[in-house]
Structure 1
Amino acid sequence: MVGYRHISRRAADRVVGIDGGIDGDVVAEYEAASHATGAEETQDVTADSGVSRALSLAATLIDAAPSGLTKAEVRERVEHYRTAGDGASAEAFEQQFSRDKRHLRRIGIEITEQGGGAEDREGRGGDHEFRYLIDPQAHGLPLLELDAEEVVALRHTELLWSGTRAQQAIRQASGALLAPHLGEGGLPDVGGPAQSQPSAVRLGLADDQVLDHLAVLAEARGSRVVGFDYGPRGRHRAERRRTLPLGVGSRGGWYLVGHDLDRDAVRVYRLDRIRGAIEPLTVQDDGAAAILQGIAEGRVDPRKVTQEQLETLGPVHGTETVELAVAEALVPSFLPHARAQSAEDVESADGAVTQRRRSRGDGARRLTVETSLHDSFVGKVAAAGPQVHILSGHRLTALVRSHLESVLRAHRDVPAEPIELKPVKHGARNDALVKIARVVSIAAYLQASGGARVSDLLRRYSLEPRQLHRDLLSLQQSAAFDDAQFGHYIDITPELPLTRRVFEERLVPEDPVIRVQLPGERLSSTLGRPLRLSTPQALSLLIGLEGLIASEDPTEELVRAAAERLRDRIRAIVPEELDVTAAELSVVWHSDDDFGREPQLHAALGAGHAVELLYEDLQGRRTRRTVDPVNLLHDGPRTYLRAWCRSAQGERNFLLSRMLELRPLPETPLSRESLRLAAEPARRPEVPRLPEDTLVTLRFAPSAVALADGWAPLREAWHEGGARTVEVALRSPAIAVDLALRSGGDVTVTAPEELSAEVLHRAEAALAAVRRNASSCVEYPETQTKGRTP
């Protein structure tokens, strides 16, 4: 029978006769079927033995309830342990058994101990008479009845995450809650608009690294000091920090508010500027003890402190009305920032404001601008260099000068250290714990839904076909073993091919419904229940719901109300530390829609008509094009219009901050192509790449390493101080120069050398112009300043 272990248990039972002999007719029948599906090729895909072994242990202990099994009985029954043999391999069994118990416990399968000697939670110690038990009644997630709006809320939370593992966590959490409500093919069966797509999709709520940090902070919150390496803006190296966490929140990015022990003061840290892991520390510190005592006695309110600190953040440093002299070539880029305020300003036929003000005599035009002094606007003025003069606005002048000085310092002081760039590895973490959790989740999902299509499994679990293939084989090789050492295997239909080629070229395109049959009523009712939410899953789900609640989209009112209901119900079933963390979560969305395009685009989406854009791309090229709006994509502080471009005849994403003009076309209805595109899920915008692109090497400071992924790096190197060097392919070298000038020292061009020299030259020229203008800057009577001093 060993030679036929790759086939289903149902087929294997037919192959092996009652007397243990091989039934030749059945073998011939199976081999003929295999030949028809391409299995005549040499098998090149096998089950993951570690995953099958852990699942078999879980299934065997569930089947042995309520008495449980001793360690010796587990080794005797479960085939995956029996193959370890005797003698010297006993140590290997101990290691495998301890590791499998630890993994199962960490993913939410609770293994309890009865009698015997003492054993810790990691599986160390104890004697062989100790009995191990999984209680079927206590296993799994409590059933939550969901209405149609709550299903929509869950679907929309899946769109909020950008990291591969973060996406996997939210999809598994959503799938666990939806599982009892799924119908044929894994689709919700609750009535209502369960498959509706939002008009505005928020992406990039957090990535894998931020989700890791949030999980550690949730467990350490209020009782443990943590340590981490932190890279403030403009620094090439990260610094060690020790802090007592008080709370977390989102203000365009995720922040930790904590009491810094070395500075004896409250500090705010951006989580994406933390290099490496956050580590819980055991320290004896009077300052930490005093804060903890104040919290216990009610004198210190962590939530209030967190809110007060976060309210001082955000992308706005205040607003200021300034006068700019803009070279004629750049007027279209700055004109949308200008305000119409004098009789000399006239409105063109399409509604755009045209300034007819006095020229400086050198071809520059004077514009009055009310600015938020956000980094993006400061960087835009700095990158424009001598072509934009600040005629009034002392704060803007100071910010631009500091910005350019940081650019110069970063390019002059790049550490001289050897760099070995290696190919960037993409995809989710796929260690043993993640794989076991995923395969158990797939089993529960398939059992509860009655089956799901291959395409649904690939999307829900963020998998490549080859990994799904191996996961399904691992599930099929898992069994509950009885006292006669007979394995009751999990059955999967249709039959799985044994070669990658057949799976990817035949099964995936056919997209059949994959079904699972768990052996026996007890296993079916137990392993068929979704697992309790892990810390990453619960956090990703609660944060996603908070993100929906914080949305200001008027079309999402019902979804927001459903998200509030669901958030409160989920908090009631998660561990206390996650409930406390969830109570302090604060999500506030920010947008770089400086030109106020979002209301116009919402109106076009609601009315179902096209718009005309004057758009400026990364290379500074301006084109006028007609596009059909599909939806808005909020990716962190950036907002895109996802649209069908009639000029390019394809899907395009347009940054709202680069839409120099927008004109509604109410007489032009949306095309069939845009309606088709609206039915497809949104994807995160990516930098396009062509063979003729220029290779450029960029060094991202510790405070900005998370930004590197947005440029689709080809190769990378991480530095000891927390910086990251990447090689990227750009349509034009000018893009790299512009990026470095706008970044304020966070991004340094290191190769080619001539580009780095150009950045230095441009920054020096711009800084000299700023200093000249500052000496003669006149504050005009209409200039006003509002907001706080940065």
Structure 2
Amino acid sequence: MATRVDPAERLLDLLIALRHAQGRLTRSDVRASVNGYRDAANDVAFERMFERDKDLLRQLGVPIITEVDPVHEDAVGYRLDTAGYSLPEVTFTAAEIGVLSLAATVWQDAHLHGSAHRGLTKLRAVAAGAEPDAHLGVALRLQPAETALGPLLDAIGARQAVTFTYRTGSTGREATRHVQPWRLLSRDRGWYLIGHDVDRDAPRVFRLSRVVGTVRTTGPTGAFEVPEHDAQSLLAVGAGVGVQAVLAVLPERGAALRARAVERRGERDGRDVIVVETDDDASLAAEIASYGAAVLVIDPPELRESVLQRLRAVASLGEVPRG
């Protein structure tokens, strides 16, 4: 018994046949040569299948032209408008490839690193003379803690519930959460999950950097519908602002911090004083510490101490033991 051809496979085979045909294809040509149409029980069933497939291809933007033989008007054929179907040549300047190379570094430590790297390799192949290394010295990266990003993306696509251990920002306590994931959004260099907390029976926002360990899927796929909601408003309410940091920054330094500043308070001792808000003081402390002496924390004291602890730990790595 012959295996029935999937409709999607039949549609693809029809497109391939039209694309490679030397001239036009008649209905009899299609029925005899395209995989799947021989499954039709009779002429009426074939006509119905073929008309549905043609309409679907046209809806997808494939320009199918119907041609009638000027001598034999009953001989109707079909072909592709190759001029309308072919895409123009893709070209990029060396500078454009450099910018795309910089953008790809955002995903260096994240789940999508492989996809970004493959895409960039293909783009470089069509741009001779590209110099991506010309932009070295500027680095945009996701923190390694965002490893939850990939599993959550998959769960959102499958509409499947997840469970994970989450560390709260206010107390630092860890607890297991059961969530129906709705959306992933980025704000202030952090990624947030918006979803329905099953245990609390309410929408909640979770910062991915506070997800501890592995994200696991639970239950069947297609288990829930994502409601209509203003994701940005929910994020603003749910994420909250835990820390308002007053920083003293050397001129022309700390560009990323300056870009996120919500207030500027003049100068102090030759430094620009800015205010930055965040709900993740640990991530902010790590970022400030990476600038070394270029950025000083004026307030709050807890954040200043957290930055100093990181700097002391780095300094101790270079100490030579005395014996």
TM range, normalised to the smaller chain?
A: 0.3 to 0.5
Q: Structure 1-normalised TM-score?
A: 0.22
Q: Structure 2-normalised TM-score?
A: 0.47
Q: Which has the higher contact order (CA 8 A, sep 6+)?
A: 1
